[in-house]
Structure 1
Amino acid sequence: MRILVKGAGVAGLTVAWQLYRHGFDVTIAECNAAAGLGASGYAGGMLAPWCERESAEEPVLTLGRRAADWWEAALPGHVQRQGTLVVAGGRDAGELDRFAGRTSGWQWLDEAGIAALEPDLAGRFRRALFFRDEAHLDPRQALAALTAGLEEARMRVLFAGAEETGEYDRIVDCTGAAQIGRLPGLRGVRGEMLALETGEITLSRPVRLLHPRHPIYIVPRGKGRFMVGATMIESDDAGPVTARSLMELLNAAYALHPAFGEARLTETGAGIRPAFPDNLPRVTEAGHTLHVNGLYRHGFLLAPAMAGEVARRLLAEQPERKAS
């Protein structure tokens, strides 16, 4: 079967990779000049199903718990299996108990345990939750590596300006927010992030700082670089980061460690996360096209499961191969 995958964000590239592994003839068409220029490029890249269960339904944990294995198999060496550390400031210490009550797969750490995992946070927090089995990756590096792998496998990857021709047995639409107003119930949720650079602090894993109004996460990117995210605003406006969000993210980073107050602000960005009313992704069918959409804030976590669902559907349609 010849398959056209529309969109080279995390959904489109994981679908293309999964179909390639099953022997499909895949073409990827992307309206931008490179992969990951939409919301996927602003993602945290956290493969954290146990933490996400705090505010998400059970399927996020069920579908996401093997995501790290999928990414490691697809891109050996790109996945960092260092777990997730969850902390809260003194006045917000009760948030840790609430978080623990809504999740599983954690262990309590005292001050000594925190210092053993993250020496630069020594003495800053009295308690923490450690989710040992979680992982993270760098989204932009991962998307670039998937694209390169597909091109090396002689799959056609067409970017802006490249003409897409030919007939296809199926189309898989993974264009995300472009389908808002077209797919029933799909809405936009704006996520904002910033990037900081400093040589004064080292973190080995994502750290979530709990707060009743604006919890954040900080993800190390190596070489003194950190991604700080992310706001969640019910809006499909993809404009620049707002002053309010910038202040909230910077204040929270400073609360985690004062060294971030002297860090260089190297990037800000906003992306629109497409979401259905239940905030769970879906594979839906409309004639010749399968739509993969609604990954919300769980793109890298749930895209492998959605890619597997697409592959199962298309394999069921494959004509049986004649015995040689």
Structure 2
Amino acid sequence: MNAKPRILVKGAGVAGMTAAVTLAERGGDVTLVDRAGRVGAGASWMAGGMLAPWCEAESAPAEVTAQSVDSVDWWAAHVPDVTREGSLVLAPARDVGEIARFGRRTSHFTQVGGAEIAELEPDLAGRFQKGLFFADEGHVDPRRALEALGDRLRHLGGHANMDDAPPDDNAFDWVVDCTGLNARNTLEGLRGVRGEMLLLRCPDVVLHRPVRMLHPRIPVYIVPRADHVFMVGATMVESEDAGGMTVRSMMELLNAAWTLHPGFAEAEILEMGVGLRPSYPDNMPRVRRDGRHVFINGMYRHGFLLSPARAREAADLIFGAQG
């Protein structure tokens, strides 16, 4: 086998992009392909980009937090424009009891009252009297981040063959499959979990960090991006329907944004989207080897949080095998 192994990475979502860059940094001769013909295809393009290991502990296994606490550092070291201003968890007055429930399931937060909320987010002054602030978290614009990883891969000497016919697997020492639900015929137990999002442009509202609006049935997050754009997303819906967004879903997302700040009533709807996240029954991403094929899949809602850890796991497997 070559001293510098030739590695084919299939899939240019967050799992594939982090794997390709990590493998190139470890010394692999990496070629990236995606059947969609571009970087950032699939569910990753619809992601919120929240780097929130402590918040995720509210509903995720402890392993998610343990394996993702350094994810903010990884992204900050690899792409520009990572924002490290923490996360703010709020609830409307009728659901304020949800804050205590959220706090019981999480850690590494500070309880904040109306004055602290106003200091953190001046545009929310007087609107909320109780919340949780997770100071060690961050967020990133997924689309810019994935494109930056593509640039990083090329800088490392890797190749992104998006427009050409897929190369022959047999021309490579290793094949790393990060194709999500396209691999479900090979990987037992994969299912699709629906995620929905809106992109809004609202010059009348300024936020500095993601805000999670708690609700017993459908928690919603609002994530600020550049140029007065906000991503509004639901958590996850147990459905494999990849069709368009329903009126009900749109109303719930828009209502959450309006509840956070009435200025969103005048926002421009730029985009609405639905993505299917590949997920295993336990909602934990896995790395699996079958000969010279390595599979990274099942990212669920943890793609940006856990892809650096899964990429390292795959790299350790491949380069450990080299020795």
For the superposition of Structure 1 and Structure 2, which TM-score range results when normalised by the shorter chain? over 0.9
Matches within 5 A, 1:1-324: 1-75=5-79, 77-165=80-168, 167-319=171-323
Distance 1:45 1:276 in 2: 21
Q: Report the aligned-residue RMSD.
A: 1.2
Measure how far apart 1:235 and its partner are: 2.1
Kept in 2, the 8 Å contact 1:198–1:224? The answer is yes
8 Å contact from structure 1 (residues 193, 231) kept in 2: no
Distance in 1 (CA, whole Å) between partners of 2:320 and 2:226 is 43
Q: Which runs of 4 or more aligned residues in structure 1 lie more than 3 Å from their structure 2 counterparts after TM superposition?
A: 160-163
Asked if structure 2 preserves the Cα contact closer than 8 Å seen for 1:231 and 1:245, the reply is no
Whether the 8 Å contact between 2:193 and 2:278 is mirrored in structure 1 is: yes
- Cα distance in 1 between the residues matched to 2:221 and 2:14: 20
SS in 2 for 1:222: coil
d(CA) in 1 for partners of 2:139, 2:220:
16
Query: Which runs of 5 or more structure 2 residues have no equivalent in the other structure?
Result: none
- Residues 2-42 of structure 1: CA deviation (Å, up to 9, x unaligned): 11110011000100111111111111111112111210010
SS, match of residue 66 in structure 2? helix
Letter in 1 for 2:95: D
Q: Deviations over 1:259-296 (max 9, x none)?
A: 11110111000111011111100001223311100110
**CA distance in 1 between partners of 2:269 and 2:37 (Å):** 25
Q: How far is 1:234 from its partner?
A: 1.7
Percent identity between the two aligned chains: 53
| Residue identity opposite 1:229 in structure 2 | G
Query: TM-score, with normalisation over the residues of structure 2?
Result: 0.96
Residue 181 of structure 1: CA displacement? Answer: 4.0
> 2: distance between equivalents of 1:18 and 1:174?
14
Amino acid in structure 1 at the alignment position of 2:183: Q
How many residue pairs align between the two structures? 318
Decide whether the 8 Å contact of 1:285 with 1:291 is kept in 2.
Answer: yes
